[in-house]
Amino acid sequence: MIDRLIKNIQDKKNPTVVGLDPTLEMIPNFIKEECFEKWGKTPEAVSNMFIRFNKSIIDFTYELIPAVKPQIAMYEKYGPCGISAYLKTIEYAKKHNLIVIGDVKRGDIASTAAAYAAHIEGIDIDGQFIDIWQEDAVTLNPYMGFDGIQPFIKACDEKDKGLFILVKTSNKSSVELQDLKIDGEPVYNFTAELVKKWGKDLIGEFGYSKIGAVVGATYKEQGDALRKKIPNTFFLVPGYGAQGATAKDLSGYFDKDGIGAIVNSSRGITMAYKAKNIDEKDFAQAAREAVIEMRNDLRGEIEL
């Protein structure tokens, strides 16, 4: 998976992943009204508007980007109908040759993690195999340690899938636990070492492991230092755009060949039509233009 992701990035010359994190506020009124009319003010209506919105965003951007990252919380909120929208979004993205990173941030003890691993390994119902979730990679939370990660690593190996494990997250309160100092070294450095160890046997042709790390764009110095500390770990980088980071902050997250990281933007792309006061009917075209802008911004700093 990591090699496929890097090839996709090189083909599109764009280390961008579009976050598909729909909210009711994000959906243009004409779609909202049509869906409410058809299904009432129900989770089914929301599910349908999310699918329609995401499909348009994908239609207008898939040629330009290597990957999408749906945030499952936005869908899970609406129960089974929401999860259906998540699955249909993934299916549509994969039809368009996009790598799908499921932003699920799961983390639990071994027997439970084995159930969550269905996200990347599919399910077996009495001999009947179904790839129900279809993500190429998922994000995971490391607080519980290796036994909650192991079932996923097995799936990465056997099914060519990937992981991005939270190391240093982009949010303000990430300092509360992640930056506690142990003999001068922050907790996230220890997490980084664990991620390195967990991924050491799954390194692909570009020198990067299938077991990657989430490293926020909003902590530039820490990101630069982590790039040097764990050179075989690919970074999924949230925090660009809406959360405040720019391309300049990110040059140290990449290696000399311009690979090593993929930068996420969600609202910056999917809500570009609102930010720029563009007619809501043109929301997908506005997203396309925002993707091009972001790509050019990153290309200004990173040689690909």
Please, what is the minimum distance in Å from the beta carbon of residue 126 to its own copies? 5
Binds its own copies (CB under 8 A): choice among 166, 261, 291, 302: 166
Structure tokens at 295: 């790509």
Burial class (CB in 10 A: 0-12, 13-18, 19+), 237: buried
**Binding to its own copies by residue 184, rule CB under 8 A?**
no
Q: Could you tell me which of 35, 50, 57 has the C-alpha nearest to residue 86?
A: 50
Task: Choose the stretch contacting its own copies; rule: CB under 8 A; options: 10-18, 54-62, 99-107, 281-289.
Answer: 99-107
Q: Which of 56, 190, 280, 293 binds its own copies (CB under 8 A)?
A: 190
Active-site residue, selected from the candidate residues 105, 159, 229, 274: 105
Using the CB atoms, write b or e for 28-57: b if 16+ within 10 Å.
beebbeebeeebeeebbbbbbbbbbbbbbb
Smallest distance from its own copies to CB 109, Å: 4
Binding residue for its own copies, selected from 187, 203, 278, 292, defined by CB under 8 A: 187
Give the 3-state secondary structure of residue 241: helix
Q: Is 76 in the site for its own copies (CB under 8 A)?
A: yes
> Which residues 240-299 are close enough to bind its own copies by CB under 8 A?
none
Residue 174 near its own copies by CB under 8 A: yes
274 is catalytic: no
| Nearest-approach distance from CB 225 to its own copies, in angstroms | 18
Q: Show the tokens assigned to 27.
A: 């959906």
Dihedral over Cα of 58, 140, 12, 8: its sign: negative
Query: Does 36 sit near its own copies (CB under 8 A)?
Result: yes
Residue of the chain from 91, 97, 143, 248 that contacts its own copies (CB under 8 A): 143
| CA pair distance 284, 222, nearest whole angstrom | 34
| Interface residue with its own copies, options 63, 91, 109, 200 (CB under 8 A) | 109
Q: Which residues pair with 236 in a beta bridge?
A: 214, 262
Distance CA 256, CA 4 (A): 19
Structure tokens at 238: 């949230």
State the Cα–Cα distance between residues 162 and 224, nearest whole angstrom: 22
Residue type for position 153: I
Residues from 13 through 32 that contact its own copies (CB under 8 A)? 21, 23-24, 32
Catalytic site residues? 105
Which residues of this protein are in contact with its own copies, per CB under 8 A? 21, 23-24, 32, 36, 41-43, 45-46, 71, 73-74, 76-81, 83-84, 87, 105-113, 115-116, 118, 123, 125-128, 130, 132-133, 141-148, 166, 169-178, 180-182, 187, 190-191, 194, 238
